[in-house]
Amino acid sequence: MGAGNAKLAFGHYAGRVPPNSMLALVFMALTAMDKDDPPLFWGGHQSIAVNVLGRRGEYTDADARAVRRLITPLFQVGAIEVYQHASVRRQGSSTVCYRLNLHPDVGRFPSYEQSVT
């Protein structure tokens, strides 16, 4: 699956986002298909809460807030963007899908430190 994506994520974003956010990005990259262009993460927030934060049991509002705090720096540096919003459908709800920007233009995205000041 996403070993190549994970390598690109480390190459472009390590040191530019907080360590826990980097863990989330690497998890997303590992579960996205290497052959997809662009790489897409379809797992949703609950998957991030369970696999990155180690949350168990029912998905709570506290879990949702923790995931939002985790992925906000990824948005700020342009590592991810929403590809498809979550929605409620007759067949059941769908999860958000994120596009992983693992081939950014050089110098296109600010560093995390620049974006929070």
**pLDDT tens for each residue of 97-114:** 899 998 765 444 455 455
Domain extents in the chain: 3-96+103-116
pLDDT at res. 87: 61
Burial class of residue 93 (count of CB atoms within 10 Å of its CB; 0-12, 13-18, 19+) = exposed
Whole-structure pTM value? 0.80
